[in-house]
């Protein structure tokens, strides 16, 4: 059985241990030691990483009650790790401390939500990018602001975090949060005045080390609420990134940094009214163009401004002026959408011939055919106006 150094002291970064068992599987070598400071993956948190002897520890897992360190199954590592050998271990402190900040922040957050609203944390995920907490109750924006302030006040109180292993009798008298039934010795983590919860993970010694707890986002989730938080250095990095983005927006908009949203809203409204104006002008131009088109046997039009439904509307507006059919094209670089219409004959055979000649496709009925073709304007024009078609 491996002695869990992280259980008693979460600040142990380096340690010595002895290899007690090992085996290889696929491209990994699994190493069990008599003691370890590496926290294995569990309770929603990824494992520690770091160094064991000469090897990089990529993952640590609890397999059938035993803690295994995963290293590369290389010739060098297989030679280095032997049963009984005394080796040095060192965890990646940057990841561990960040995980401790996030996890301790999560306990304070869940504890305060529980005491204010009675909701339980029913899901926790501490990933490399995000930290999410799922509560079995709905939290509003106001609730979230209230909780955010209170959790940060608990951080600023800088209280000492207590980790202890109560006896069954003591445990029976303690009101604590726990996500599931736990077999064997229960490890409790107490944030005085805020929360007591059963937990196996490493935590900070004093709440002040969490630095800041920031609500990044929240959404309705499975009838409750999913909250994303960031703590400590991760929160600082996130705030810095967003401040930089906002600063860039303020420069681009020539707006004060606390008034960027209003500036963007103003530009958005201006764009909407300009778009509206453009649509009106396009319609005006098209009706002027339309007026200039003379009656003909077959009317062929290429116009890249005939977007969307305008292509069909335009062709239909010209229908009366054609003895046979009207065919309007919209597109560029040899790729066109077309609409062929007629009130004198069935345009389908003409459209089929067009598709065959210009690797096109499409179809329609009641005198309206729509499709796409590939080809040059001159060639398409020549084809459609030739008497053999």
Q: Which stretch binds Zn ion (CB under 5 A): 68-76, 112-120, 194-202, 376-384?
A: 194-202
Min CB(260)–Zn ion separation in Å: 38
Contact predicate 328/301, CB 8 Å? yes
Our CB check for Zn ion shows the closer of 10 and 260 to be: 10
Which residues have CB under 8 Å from 233's CB, separation 6+?
Answer: 98, 101, 211
Min CB(107)–Zn ion separation in Å: 6
Min CB(128)–Zn ion separation in Å: 18
Footprint on residues 289-308 left by Zn ion (CB under 5 A): none
Q: Is the dihedral of CA 216, 219, 221, 224 positive or negative?
A: positive
Nearest Cα neighbor of 224 from 110, 142, 143, 121 is: 121
Distance CA 72, CA 82 (A): 15
Our CB check for Zn ion shows the closer of 199 and 212 to be: 199
Min CB(252)–Zn ion separation in Å: 43
Q: Which stretch binds Zn ion (CB under 5 A): 198-206, 279-287, 296-304, 359-367?
A: 198-206
Our CB check for Zn ion shows the closer of 202 and 347 to be: 202
Q: Which stretch binds Zn ion (CB under 5 A): 129-137, 201-209, 269-277, 344-352?
A: 201-209
- By CB under 5 A, tell whether 22 contacts Zn ion: no
State the residue number with the nearest CB to Zn ion: 199
Length of the chain: 389
Q: Residues of 326-364 as b/e, b for ≥16 C-beta within 10 angstroms?
A: bbbbbbeeeebbbbbbbeeeebbebbeebbeebebebeb
Residue window 87-106: x/- pattern of binding to Zn ion, with contact defined by CB under 5 A: --------------------
3-state secondary structure 4-44: EHHHHCCCCCEEEEEEEEEEEECCEEEEEECEECCCCCECC
Min CB(177)–Zn ion separation in Å: 9
Our CB check for Zn ion shows the closer of 179 and 298 to be: 179
The single-letter DSSP state of residue 177 is: B
- By CB under 5 A, tell whether 133 contacts Zn ion: no
- By CB under 5 A, tell whether 199 contacts Zn ion: yes
Our CB check for Zn ion shows the closer of 201 and 310 to be: 201
Our CB check for Zn ion shows the closer of 139 and 201 to be: 201
Cα angle 314, 318, 324 (rounded to 5 degrees) comes to 125
Our CB check for Zn ion shows the closer of 178 and 374 to be: 178
Our CB check for Zn ion shows the closer of 194 and 199 to be: 199
Q: Residues of 140-179 as b/e, b for ≥16 C-beta within 10 angstroms?
A: eeebbeebbebbbebbeeebebebeeeeeeeeeeeebbeb
Q: Which stretch binds Zn ion (CB under 5 A): 48-56, 195-203, 347-355, 357-365?
A: 195-203
Interacting residues toward Zn ion by CB under 5 A: 199, 201
């Amino acid at each position: 059985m491996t002695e869990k150094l992280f259980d008693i002291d979460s600040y142990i970064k380096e340690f010595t241990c002895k290899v007690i068992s090992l085996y290889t599987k696929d491209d990994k070598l699994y190493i069990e030691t008599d003691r370890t400071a590496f926290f294995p993956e569990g309770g929603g948190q990824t494992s520690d990483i770091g160094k064991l002897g000469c090897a990089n520890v990529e993952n640590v897992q609890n397999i059938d009650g035993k803690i295994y360190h995963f290293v590369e199954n290389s010739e060098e590592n297989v030679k280095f790790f032997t049963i009984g050998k005394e080796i040095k271990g060192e965890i990646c402190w940057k990841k561990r401390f960040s995980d401790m900040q996030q996890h301790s922040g999560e306990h304070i957050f869940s504890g305060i939500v529980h005491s204010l609203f009675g909701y339980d944390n029913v899901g926790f995920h501490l990933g490399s990018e995000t930290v999410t907490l799922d509560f079995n109750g709905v939290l509003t924006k106001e609730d979230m602001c209230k909780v955010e302030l209170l959790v940060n006040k608990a951080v600023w109180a800088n209280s000492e975090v207590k980790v202890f292993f109560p006896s069954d009798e003591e445990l029976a008298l303690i009101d604590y949060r726990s996500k599931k039934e736990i077999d064997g010795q229960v490890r409790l983590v107490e944030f005085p005045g805020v929360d007591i919860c059963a937990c196996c993970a490493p935590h900070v010694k004093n709440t002040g080390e969490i630095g800041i707890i920031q609500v990044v986002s929240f959404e309705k989730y499975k009838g409750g609420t999913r909250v994303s938080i960031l703590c400590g250095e991760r929160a600082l990095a996130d705030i810095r990134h967003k401040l930089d983005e906002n600063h860039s927006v303020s420069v681009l908009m020539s707006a004060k940094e606390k008034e960027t949203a209003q500036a963007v809203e103003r530009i958005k409204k201006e764009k909407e009214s300009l778009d509206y104006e453009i649509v009106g002008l396009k319609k005006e131009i098209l009706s002027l163009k339309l007026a200039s088109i003379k009656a003909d046997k077959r009317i062929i039009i290429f116009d890249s401004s005939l977007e969307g439904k305008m292509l069909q509307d335009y062709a239909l507006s010209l229908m009366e002026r054609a003895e046979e059919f009207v065919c309007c094209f919209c597109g560029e670089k040899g790729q066109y959408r077309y609409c062929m219409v007629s009130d004198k004959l069935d345009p389908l055979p003409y459209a089929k011939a067009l598709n065959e000649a210009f690797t096109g496709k499409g179809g329609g009925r009641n005198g309206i055919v729509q499709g796409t073709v590939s080809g040059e304007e001159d060639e398409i024009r020549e084809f459609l106006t030739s008497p053999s078609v």
